[in-house]
């Protein structure tokens, strides 16, 4: 069992839910990202989703699209994100998960990327535009190197496919709470709980809910039935609104602490 599995095992024993915040690596720069990640871990994050900037992030709304654009203008690449993850790994044992699109990963080569991810200490990879049927070699290479390939399900996923995804995912199943792209929302979709319970009826794989989660109240509601919450756009919004890197770190740290509070027993 890797760090992701161990994390959920410990949290389940405590009756606690996971908070997994997302940041785009290199927004506004890699040094600030490093400070943000360390601050989020100190504030109570159970794992970190580190976004690899990409020029055509089809699953992202305007907030994360703009963050990717800013990072790319600053010269951030997949290799530089891997170097950042390696630095972060030196002083935390909590899971560090890469989130990115297939093009940069596959351009490096499936096995080369899997080797590089494992060598720097990545615990998992989320690739929204690479379903398991099209990425068999990619996910197999990750598995061989002990890196979890985290798969996604959504409201449009059929019952049969949901069962297959629950069986094939590693670490946890990422349930996308709504159709469309990422972005903070005022209200959560109404059928999320039923779908999460559907997974739990057939599998003990942890289920984390993301997309649209933007308040501690959202986190509390999801924590009643899911194993964890992923929060991205609401964090990236705070980074973009900050007048300085220090202000961004302070704002995100306080927000993460507020999100984590209702997920504790």
Q: What pLDDT score does 184 carry?
A: 44
- What is the rounded distance in angstroms from the CA atom of residue 216 to the CA atom of residue 164? 31
- What is the rounded distance in angstroms from the CA atom of residue 124 to the CA atom of residue 222? 22
Residues 11-41: tens digit of each pLDDT: 999 999 999 999 999 999 999 999 999 999 9
Residue from 233, 250, 189, 211 nearest 23 by CA = 233
Q: Above 90 in pLDDT, residue 79?
A: yes
With cut-offs at 50, 70 and 90, classify the pLDDT of residue 53. Answer: very high
With cut-offs at 50, 70 and 90, classify the pLDDT of residue 68. Answer: very high
Neighbours of 31 (CB within 10 A): 11
Q: What pLDDT score does 178 carry?
A: 66
Domain at 3-263: CATH code: 3.20.20.70
Averaged pLDDT, 64-71: 93
Q: Is residue 259 within a helix (H) or strand (E), and if so which, with residue range? A: helix 245-260
- What is the rounded distance in angstroms from the CA atom of residue 90 to the CA atom of residue 112? 22
End-to-end alpha-carbon separation of the chain, Å?
25
Q: What pLDDT score does 251 carry?
A: 98
Q: What pLDDT score does 56 carry?
A: 81
Residues 161-212: tens digit of each pLDDT: 999 999 999 999 999 986 444 444 454 556 889 999 999 999 999 999 998 8
Q: Above 60 in pLDDT, residue 87?
A: yes
- What is the rounded distance in angstroms from the CA atom of residue 117 to the CA atom of residue 70? 24
Q: What pLDDT score does 183 carry?
A: 40
Q: What pLDDT score does 188 carry?
A: 59
Here the tokens at position 219 are 């986190």
Q: What pLDDT score does 61 carry?
A: 74
Can you give the pTM of this predicted structure?
0.94
With cut-offs at 50, 70 and 90, classify the pLDDT of residue 59. Answer: low
Q: What pLDDT score does 217 carry?
A: 95
Averaged pLDDT, 121-150: 97
With cut-offs at 50, 70 and 90, classify the pLDDT of residue 63. Answer: confident
Q: Where are the domains of the chain?
A: 3-263
Q: In this predicted structure, which of 36-45, 122-131, 153-162 has the lowest mean pLDDT?
A: 153-162
């Amino acid at each position: 069992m890797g760090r992701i599995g161990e994390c959920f095992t410990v949290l389940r024993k405590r009756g606690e839910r996971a908070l997994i915040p997302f940041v785009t690596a290199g927004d506004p720069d890699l040094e600030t990202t490093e400070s943000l990640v360390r601050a989020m871990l100190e504030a109570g994050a159970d794992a970190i989703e580190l976004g690899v900037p990409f020029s055509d992030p089809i699953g992202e709304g305007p907030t994360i699209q703009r963050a990717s654009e800013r990072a790319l203008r600053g010269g951030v690449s997949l290799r530089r994100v891997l170097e950042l993850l390696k630095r972060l790994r030196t002083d935390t044992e909590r899971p560090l998960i890469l989130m990115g699109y297939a093009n940069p990963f596959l351009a490096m080569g499936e096995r080369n990327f899997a080797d590089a991810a494992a060598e720097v200490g990545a615990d998992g990879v989320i690739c929204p535009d690479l379903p398991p049927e099209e990425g068999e070699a990619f996910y197999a290479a990750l598995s061989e190197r002990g890196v979890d390939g985290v798969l996604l399900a959504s409201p449009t996923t059929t019952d049969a496919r949901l069962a297959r995804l629950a069986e094939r995912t590693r670490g946890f199943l990422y349930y996308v709470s709504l159709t469309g792209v990422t972005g903070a929302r005022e209200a959560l979709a109404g059928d999320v709980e039923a779908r999460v319970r559907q997974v739990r009826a057939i599998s003990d794989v942890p289920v984390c809910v993301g997309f649209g989660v933007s308040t501690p109240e959202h986190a509390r509601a999801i924590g009643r039935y899911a194993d964890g919450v992923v929060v991205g756009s609401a964090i990236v919004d705070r980074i973009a609104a900050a007048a300085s890197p220090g202000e961004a770190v302070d704002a995100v740290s306080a927000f993460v602490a507020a999100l984590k509070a209702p997920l504790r027993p």
